[in-house]
Amino acid sequence: MSPAAARLGRAVRSPWVRGAFLVVAVALAVAYVWREREGIGAAWSRLDAATVLLTLVCSLANVALAGASWRAVLADLGSRLPRAAAARVFFVGQLGRYVPGTVFQFVAQAELARDLGVPRRRTASALVVALGVSMTTAALLVVALLPAALAALGPGAQGGWTAWLARLPWLTPLLLVLLSPPVLNPLLRLLLRAARQPPLEHPLTWRGLGASAGWALASWVAVGAQVLVLTRAVGGADLPLPVLAALCLGGYTLAWATGFLVVLAPAGAGAREVVLAAVLATATGGAAAAVVVLGSRVLLTLADLLLAGAALLLGRRGASAR
C-alpha cells in the first residue's frame, strides 16, 4: 500500500471523520428534499395517505432487497455477516451515494465492514459485483418489458425510443458474459493487482451470483410496484394493468441505469428523473409524470434515511447488550 493510501486509511478510521461523513451524507439527502419542497407539497396533495404508506413500504423493500443482493455476494466471497451487522454496513455506507462521486460509498462500506473483520478488498469487490448484478438485471428488465409496453401504447408513444432501445439487446449478453464466474473472477484479480492488493481468498460462484441476482430482481419489482402505485394514483388508471406495470418497471430500471452512469450526480439525481419522466409521460402526460418522479425520489431518499437510522439504532442496542 502506498504512503498516501495508508494516510487515507488512517484518516477514514477516525471517529471524527466518520461522524463528519455521516452528517454530510444525511445533510445532502435532506437538502434534496428541502430544495424540492414546493413540488413535494404539490405532489403530496394529489396522493392519499394509503397511497403514500403503500409506496413507502415498496421503497423500503427496494432498498432492503438491494442490501440482501449485496450481502449474498459478500457471503459468496467468504464473509457471511449477520443480518444486523450487514444492514449497518450497507444502509449506513450507501448514504455515501448522496455525496457527489462514486468513491464515498466504497470507502464508507469498506471501513464499516473492516470493523467487523472483513478485508477492505472483499467489501469493495462485493459492492462492485453487486452493482454489476444490478446493472445486468436492470438491462434484462428493460429489454424484456419496455419495448413491448411502448408498442402497446401505439406508434406515437415509441417516438425516438425505438432506435435507442434497439441497441440494448446487444449490451445485455455482454453484461451476462462479464458477470459469469469464469470471466468475472479473473477480472477481479486484475483489478486488485492494479490496486496493489492481494487476490480474493474465495472466488465467486454461480450459486452466489444467482442468489444475488434473485434478490436484485426482487428489489426491482418492489420499486416498480412503487412507481406503478404512484402512476395509477395520479392518472394512469385507464391503461391496462400489465402494460402500465411493464412501463413503470422497465422505465425505472432504464432510468436507474442512466443515473448510475452519471457518476458525478448524487445517487443519480437529475439524470434518473429526466429519463423516468420521459418514459412515463408517454402514458400519463408530463404533469402527472413529474408528480410520480418527484414522489418516487423522495420516498426512496426517505427509505435510505430510515433504514440507515434503524441500522445505527440496532447496532447501538447490540453494543449496549454486550
Q: Specify the pLDDT at position 151.
A: 80
- Looking at residue 322, its pLDDT comes to 37
Q: Which of 48-62, 159-173, 186-200 has the lowest mean pLDDT?
A: 159-173
Q: What pLDDT is attached to residue 196?
A: 84
For 86-99, write each residue's pLDDT tens digit. Answer: 999 999 888 877 77
Return the closest-CA partner of residue 101 out of 227, 307, 268, 311. Answer: 268
- CA contacts within 13 A on the Cβ side of 185: 14
Q: Is 284 helix (H, G, I), strand (E, B) or coil?
A: helix
Which residues, including other chains, have CB under 8 Å from residue 298's CB and lie 6 or more apart?
A: 32, 33, 36, 40, 43
Weakest-pLDDT range from 5-14, 217-226, 273-282, 311-320? 5-14
Question: Cα separations (Å) of 276 from 130, 135, 301?
Answer: 23, 16, 16
Query: What pLDDT was estimated at residue 316?
Result: 59
Closest of 21, 34, 39, 13 to residue 273, by C-alpha: 39
Buried-exposed string 230-261: b where 16+ CB fall within 10 A, e elsewhere:
bbbbbbbeebeeebbbbbbbbbbbbbbbbbbe
CA dihedral of residues 165, 141, 172, 192 (deg, nearest 10): 130
What's the angle, vertex CA 142, arms to CA 141 and CA 147, rounded to 5? 120
User: ∠ CA 146-149-151 to the nearest 5 degrees?
Assistant: 110
pLDDT at 1: 41
CA angle 62, 67, 73 (to 5 degrees): 130
Angle at 25 between CA 250 and CA 120, to 5 degrees: 85
Query: What pLDDT does 283 receive?
Result: 80
Q: Cell numbers of 138, please?
A: 436492470
The 10s digit of each residue's pLDDT in 274-294 is: 888 888 888 877 777 888 888
CA distances in angstroms from 53 to 29, 63, 234, 305, 306, listed in the order given: 20, 16, 15, 16, 14
Helix 286-321, helix 271-284: angle, nearest 10: 130
Q: Tens of pLDDT along 210-233?
A: 999 999 999 999 999 999 999 988
This prediction has a pTM of 0.82
**In terms of pLDDT, which residue wins out, 46 or 141?**
141
| C-alpha cell recorded at residue 9 | 486509511
**Residue-level pLDDT at 163:** 56
